[in-house]
Amino acid sequence: MAATASTVRATGLYRRMQQESRVAAADPVELVTILYDELETAVGVLAAMVRQGQRVSATEPAHRARAILIGLDTGLDRDAGGDVATALSRVYRSMRRKLDDAVAANSEADLSELLDGIKTISAAWRQLR
């Protein structure tokens, strides 16, 4: 059975409400985890779009992934984080460049490589729990 437009909208609304509830109750570590979840989703969607033959430049997932990487970078507490914050900033900036290059080239391989890197950092972050 195919989903109707109203079902798709309702599902999207429900997902957003769940996410907003999760964010409202989150501590700083959980907030970063949420951003990684969203980043993984956005880059995964981009890779799937390329596999389906679509161009991904100027798409919502591309803008979302870039905005999340910028948010992760600007949210770093460089005073308290010291060398770790500096290293993470370099990683986030490198990921942004890789994202921009992969989107411009419409490269599934580059997006998949970026996604692998995101998952590695995300897994390490989750171990803080």
The structural domains of the chain, ordered by start, are 27-126 (1.20.120.340)
Q: What is the pLDDT of residue 128?
A: 77
Mean pLDDT of 83-106: 96
Q: Can you tell me whether residue 107 is helix, strand or coil? A: coil
- State pLDDT tens for residues 31-68: 888 899 999 999 999 999 999 999 999 899 999 999 99
pTM, entire model: 0.79
Q: What is the pLDDT of residue 5?
A: 52
Cα–Cα distance, 125 to 85 (Å, whole number) = 13
Asked if residue 23 has pLDDT above 60, the reply is no
Contact between residue 101 and residue 68 where contact means Cβ atoms under 8 Å apart: no
Q: What is the mean pLDDT of the chain?
A: 85
